[in-house]
């Protein structure tokens, strides 16, 4: 039985999520073996889907596809090897994975000069969301480094479908639906989204030294705020500056919600979801006041996070191809990848979603890594690369300025 939430829209999602970890001084074959072992742990890597007269049916392949493409660039110059590796990643990440074919994932190992190995992973969003992709890659590192094998995930589609039906018949569903209809029923003016623009995506990666966030972390701690809430508030302020509306400070932002705790027993599974919330930043409030209001809004919203947004489309009288929000914010804070030298020297995440959202900001706060990644996905029909770079650089200036403003005013105007 196919999960009803995956088929409530005309088509299955075609988004791809994945990542790249760059290593130095490691055993490439041992890394491949670690990846193969971790993949065995997750049953969802066996799934694919098929269109039938009765609808979309889920299938489980008799075997997981454990074939890995190993591309050796180690004999090339550093410059040429880097160019070829980046071109390979672009090709892998910009070609959609068809949910009706098997497998729903891609794995590739790139061997570069100077004992560098890049591990590339991509999966269809149906079997793996963004947090799952990070956790999957981290599991590979932990197995390679320490021989730690995670708890395996096994999925009972009928049990999950039964749980969904029970939820749809529950009082909680009525409460959740009422909450979101009251939040999202009021029309909102889009800043960048246009129905005429084709779904397309490009991505850019920016980084900031971890030490840059020291004053921001201190400010968040002093006012009992999370770093993610503070960064979300800063980004909202920047969006209002860079893409203003003459009559409104209202923005709708999509936030990833998984309906689960951060444990690894149920990561690679059908849990992708989105919390779409509307924020209005008071013009005369300072940063801390705004962040506290955002935190309070999120706390109320999280009580109703189980409802998949697509179930609201009919009630809101919205076409299924129109997003509830045009901006998406993701903040991922994961544990230390490894304490061993020579393992990840840097981490980057790419998610070329073939979607219509104009702009997405993903912040990767990896412990044990010197830099924090900002991964920007954007639809080039709405924004060009120069505009995206200018927007993010302005956000970076605000983050860096916190140190100076913190000395003058603890609430940071």
Residues 153-173: tens digit of each pLDDT: 887 767 777 887 888 899 999
pLDDT value at residue 8: 38
| Token pair recorded at residue 52 | 């039938």
CA distances from 280 to 34, 209, 224, 237 (A): 47, 30, 21, 10
**What DSSP assignment string belongs to 255-302?**
EE--SS-S-TTS-SSS---EEEEEEE--TT--HHHHHHHHHHHHHHHH
Assign 260 a pLDDT band (cuts: 50, 70, 90).
low
Helix-helix angle 157-168:171-184, to 10 degrees:
70
Mean pLDDT of the chain: 81
pLDDT value at residue 406: 57
| Token pair recorded at residue 220 | 């968040």
Assign 348 a pLDDT band (cuts: 50, 70, 90).
low
Q: Tell me the C-alpha distance between 213 and 406, whole Å.
A: 12
- Residue with the bigger pLDDT between 172 and 403: it is 172
Q: Tell me the C-alpha distance between 159 and 151, whole Å.
A: 20
DSSP H or E segment with residue 181: helix 171-184
Q: Tell me the C-alpha distance between 262 and 123, whole Å.
A: 20
Assign 10 a pLDDT band (cuts: 50, 70, 90).
very low
pTM over 0.75: yes
Task: Map residue 172 onto helix, strand or coil.
Answer: helix
Q: Tell me the C-alpha distance between 344 and 120, whole Å.
A: 13
pLDDT tens by residue, 178-234 = 999 999 988 888 999 988 888 777 778 888 988 899 889 899 999 999 999 999 999
Strand pairing of 359-366 and 344-350?
Answer: unpaired
Residues 319-324: what's their mean pLDDT?
Answer: 79
Q: How many CB atoms lie within 10 A of CB 184?
A: 20
- Residue 3: alpha-carbon gap to chain centroid: 21
CA distances from 84 to 29, 70, 105, 382 (A): 21, 13, 21, 29
Q: Tell me the C-alpha distance between 338 and 344, whole Å.
A: 8
| Phi, psi angle pair for 237, to nearest 5° | -60, -40
Which residues of 91-223 form beta strands (DSSP E)? 105-112, 116-124, 202-209
Distance from the first to the final alpha carbon of the chain: 54
pLDDT value at residue 198: 80
Residues 1-8: what's their mean pLDDT?
Answer: 38
Residues 246-270: what's their mean pLDDT?
Answer: 69
CB crowding 286-299: b at 16 or more within 10 Å, else e: ebbbbbbbbbebbe
| Token pair recorded at residue 21 | 């970890």
Q: Which structural domains are found in the chain, ordered by start?
A: 4-146 (3.30.559.10), 159-334+361-408 (3.30.559.30)
Assign 409 a pLDDT band (cuts: 50, 70, 90).
low
Give the CB-side neighbour count of residue 379, counting CA atoms within 13 A.
Answer: 20
């Amino acid at each position: 039985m196919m999960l009803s939430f995956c088929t409530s829209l005309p088509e299955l999602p075609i988004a791809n999520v994945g990542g790249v970890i760059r290593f130095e001084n490691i055993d490439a074959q041992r890394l491949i073996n670690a990846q193969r072992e971790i993949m065995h742990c997750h049953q969802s890597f066996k799934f694919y889907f098929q269109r039938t007269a009765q609808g979309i049916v889920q299938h489980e392949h008799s075997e997981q596809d454990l074939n890995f493409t190993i591309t050796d660039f180690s004999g090339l110059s550093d410059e040429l090897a880097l160019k070829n590796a980046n071109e390979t990643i672009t090709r892998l990440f910009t070609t959609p994975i068809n949910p009706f074919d098997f497998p729903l994932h891609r794995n590739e190992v790139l061997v570069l000069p100077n004992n560098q190995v890049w591990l590339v992973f991509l999966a269809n969003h149906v079997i793996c969301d963004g947090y799952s992709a990070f956790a999957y890659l981290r599991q590979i590192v932990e197995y390679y480094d320490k021989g730690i094998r995670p708890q395996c995930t096994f999925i009972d589609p009928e049990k999950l479908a039964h749980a969904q039906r029970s939820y749809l018949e529950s009082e909680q569903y009525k409460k959740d639906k009422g909450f979101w209809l009251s939040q999202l029923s009021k029309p909102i003016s889009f800043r960048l989204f246009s129905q005429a623009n084709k779904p397309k995506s490009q991505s850019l990666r920016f980084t900031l030294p971890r030490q840059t966030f020291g004053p921001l972390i201190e400010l968040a701690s002093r006012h009992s705020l999370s770093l993610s809430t503070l960064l979300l508030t800063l980004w909202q302020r920047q969006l209002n500056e860079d893409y203003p509306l003459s009559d409104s400070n209202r923005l709708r932002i999509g936030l990833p919600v998984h309906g689960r705790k951060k444990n690894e027993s149920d990561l690679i599974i059908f849990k992708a979801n989105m919390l779409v919330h509307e924020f209005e930043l008071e013009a005369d409030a300072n940063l801390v006041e705004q962040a506290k209001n955002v935190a309070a809004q999120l706390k109320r919203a999280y009580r109703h996070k189980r409802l998949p947004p697509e179930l609201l489309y009919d009630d809101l009288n919205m076409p299924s191809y129109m997003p509830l929000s045009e901006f998406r914010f993701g903040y991922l804070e994961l544990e230390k990848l490894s304490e061993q030298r020579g393992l990840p020297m840097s981490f980057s995440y790419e998610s070329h979603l073939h979607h219509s959202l104009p702009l997405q900001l993903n912040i990767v706060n990896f412990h044990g890594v010197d830099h924090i990644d900002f991964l920007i996905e954007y639809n080039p029909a709405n924004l060009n690369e120069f505009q995206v770079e200018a927007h993010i650089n302005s956000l970076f200036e605000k983050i860096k300025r916190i140190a100076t403003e913190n000395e003058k005013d603890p609430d940071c105007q």
